[in-house]
Structure 1
Amino acid sequence: MNSEPEDTKSQLTQNQETPTKKKKKKHRAPPTPTPPPPPTLLPVQGKAKVQVLHENPQKAPPFVGYFSSSYDPLRDNGGNNSEGSDGIGSPRVRVYRSQKWPKRVQMVVSPSRSNVDFVGTNYSGEATIGQRYKYALGVFDKESQSLKIVPVACDRVFRLEPKVRGLDVADEEPESSVKEETSAQQKADKMKELTILFGTKKSIKEAKKKHSLNQEDNPKSQEELSGRIKEVKIKKEALESTDANIARNVPPYDASATSPQEAYPLDKIILMGEWAFLEDIFELLQVGAEVSPKTYPTFVCNRIHKLQEIQDEAEKRSLSCIFSYITHLIKYKDQNSMDGVSSAKGHRIPSILSQKFSTVFSPESKRLSAEKNDLLISYVLVLTLYADEFRTDPTDIAKDLRMSSIKLRVHYEHLGCKLSRQDSLLSFTLPLPLQFPTVRQKRRR
């Protein structure tokens, strides 16, 4: 028998006992993709041309709407104005105007394939807060390197709120606010609340003082006032020597003035902060637009040629502001009278002037009293003297004030003016020193 060597046997048994070890494969994580580098913004070379487009009464200003929610019309439309590959087109935009109140405008944006509309108004909600601010819209054209700035009226900015179609009955405006406009008293109350919340110490003190003076219905204040009046000693001699009440129902004046400009100071009629809101006529002339007789009184339209003849820009701006102030006074008188409401329909008085007029002339139930009406006419006539260099023809302003020349003559005389005739033309001048008409008393027999 053949016998194998021991060495080979030991190797075989050793190989059979120890199985071969396999190497385990390591699973590596896939490499993370590196984000692309941010786009480099190249600086725009050259100078951009800035063009400011002024308001044109013959063209409608733009409408601006912004969404209060996360809705993005460009994202939902795929960034295209035309219908995309998914069949979703651009949203539909509509603007509605009330037939009863032309100032009330409503904007509705309807996305395609959706039952939700975005609605914004200029007479309710947040739009009523921003009536005192001015806005502008800027459009930059990269190709022509030009920037166009267009003014946007405060009532043309809409906050678009989402509303489901068919469920907007509960969101309608209450009947009381729809039937009548916000009264001057309600606006004054809102301004008072804002002043107390956010005003300075000086403005809060003035608001409280004004409120205490206007407390006519408070019985306590009436009792205190009547008690103080009883304590006042009345001198009959002083009453007999006083002039008529209407003679003193005039703007602030200086009886000892040596020039007509000092007799009725212009800075006490038009305050310093009001001049910036009276540049509408000046801007129309800068653009080359026409001053329409439907918007401005006859007195102003017949004297526009004076502005075109003036070379000094500061003098032209000052005279145009006086014309604008006369316009606002006449329109305010028409708004608070029975015979001129239709002519003042649609006219907008700046809020700073509207608040001042309501304080100085204080109309009750949207009607001026006889005394306040005479005071407003006196303000207008003084400004006409400034416009005509203190020699004015009363024909145009009598037509604007809807008064006869005889009644207007009485108002001029109460201002201290005298009627003069020059080349068969009647005009009023302001001689110095000021002399007001006195009360004629009957002699006793």
Structure 2
Amino acid sequence: MASHETNPSPAASSKKKKRHSKKRKAIEVTVDASFPGAAAPVVGYFPTGYDPLAAAEPPRVRLFRHEKHHNRVELVVGAPGGGPDFVGRSYAGEAAAPQLCGYALGVLDKATGTLKIVPIASNKILRLEPHFEAQQPAHSQQSAAEAGSSVADTELNRQDLTQAYGTKKDKDKDNKWKSLKEQRNDPSAYLDLDLGESKTTADATDSEASVEVRNIPPYDPAADTSEKAYLFDEIIPKNIRPHLLDIVGHFESGEFGLKGYGSFVSNRVNKLQELQGEDQERLAWILSYITHLLSLLARNSSMSKQKRKEKDQTIRGPMIPQAVHRKLLLMFTEPGSSSLSTEKHELLVNYILVLTLFADDFRSEPTDICVDLKMNRQMLKPYYDQLGCKSVSTGAFKPFFMTLPAPLKFPQQVTRRRRRK
């Protein structure tokens, strides 16, 4: 057999020659040590949009360095005209995050064709954030009223400076607290929290001081049916009900499984398909409100602030509407605090259990809600007893159901007498 040899074409050989003909250019790099004692330049930026070059006068710049730790520097840029100081620290805030690269400042001289690269101070790019110094205390001869007005003026000045130079996060935080303070000072915000007038006899009014205040949702002790025992219109106020219908859209669009609803709501959402009109809306209110109450309970569990911040990032579930969130904060948090006290935590669990009874037509199997609350049946038994519920079973080795007999009968507190010695 004859062997055929293929010779490369002249075009292909010319391409190979061109590829191998490329040569790398040598660049001379010299280290200039003529200023060994000179300080490294400091690099910073303003995240608030403040432009120091726009002012008529140049800003006052000061640099502070730690006596023992020389790599810790603090850059202070004072705005002219009595504005706030912008402070950047190399040891706190954004600069304290793990850094996997190094920074340097390059200066290109086009005339000579040289590029000078110098390291920057502390190898950090400083984030210059506005810093508001506290005003001096009022003079001792001023009256208490003048001192109070001075504190109020300081708070207003701080808010004005935040709106002018603050970051978007600080502005949103101030607006949120401002709206919450306005609602706390507005008496009309508490109209929906009225527990109603209880029907008492003449003898009961005489002993009004001895009436026990129970930490449970609004109820009617004289109700003869389970549906009227707890006041549904006060448990879910009418002004927030339009914000509790998103679950219907999630169920009909097929996005329900992606929203992170709890076990109790997921096992009962199919009832929405069987109901129509007002009955469907009523069940949607109940299931949505249970979901938002569980979210509030999960975000305000007793833990440190750092763990609470990490847990907020991992909590799954539909977003709480703003109107509903404000109502929940008014009902279950103390003024000036965003955490739950022991009494408010107990009240919140009682609200959830009462709504589960409404959802199951007052014959509820507590397995699903135990999973959502991360509590077993023995832990929930005191809550059910406090609500006046009773457990029933259809037979041996069958699940227990929680019912709500009417009229309500609450457990009596038994006081044990001490034995005489």
Given the two structures, how large is their TM-score scaled by the length of structure 1?
Answer: 0.47
Given the two structures, how large is their TM-score scaled by the length of structure 2?
Answer: 0.49
Q: Of the two, which has the highest radius of gyration? A: 1
